């Protein structure tokens, strides 16, 4: 008697390929960075360029540490904003990783096609 694994049955079915445009990934990342820049410029009383710089440097994991939110204790109302900042960054890192993976799969598929 042979035991059939559920994974074996799923591998027999043709996999449906869902194509996500690379331009959509780029627009999604840019929109996320610029919306975060607006958020941090309002919260921290930074100008928009400083907020954009902070979001890009932080989400790209370069993190120079020259601009840090929450250093002006009067501008921050409490730990709630720090938690929201952490959630923004964690979700942003996940979003960027997902978009990089989608673009990587698209490039691999195009290279196989050649």
pLDDT tens digits along 66-85? 998 877 666 556 678 888 99
Q: Is it the case that residue 52 has pLDDT exceeding 90?
A: yes
Contact criterion met (CB below 8 Å) for 106 and 72: no
Can you give the pLDDT at residue 87? 96
Residue 19 lies in a domain: no
Question: Is this structure's pTM higher than 0.95?
Answer: no
Residue 58 lies in a domain: yes
Residue 18 lies in a domain: no
CATH number at residue 51: 1.10.287.70
Domain that holds residue 68: 24-113
Can you give the pLDDT at residue 32? 98
Residue 2 lies in a domain: no
Q: Is it the case that residue 58 has pLDDT exceeding 70?
A: yes
Q: Which residue is it, tokens 């989608």?
A: 102
The closest of 28, 95, 29 to 56, measured between CA atoms, is 29
Which tens digit of pLDDT belongs to each residue from 83-92?
A: 899 999 999 9
Counted domains in the chain? 1
Q: Note the helical H segments in 45-74.
A: 48-59
Can you give the pLDDT at residue 79? 77
Residue 65 lies in a domain: yes
Residue 12 lies in a domain: no
Residue 5 lies in a domain: no
């Amino acid at each position: 008697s042979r035991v059939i694994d559920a994974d074996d049955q799923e591998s027999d079915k043709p996999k449906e390929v869902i194509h996500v445009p690379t331009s959509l990934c780029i627009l999604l990342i840019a929109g996320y960075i610029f919306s975060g820049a607006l958020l941090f410029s309002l919260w921290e009383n930074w100008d928009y360029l400083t907020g954009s710089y902070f979001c890009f440097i932080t989400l790209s994991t370069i993190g120079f540490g020259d601009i840090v939110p929450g250093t002006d204790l009067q501008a921050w109302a409490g730990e709630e904003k720090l938690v929201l900042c952490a959630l923004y960054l964690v979700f942003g890192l996940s979003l960027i990783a997902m978009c990089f993976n989608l673009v990587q799969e698209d490039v691999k598929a195009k290279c196989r096609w050649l």
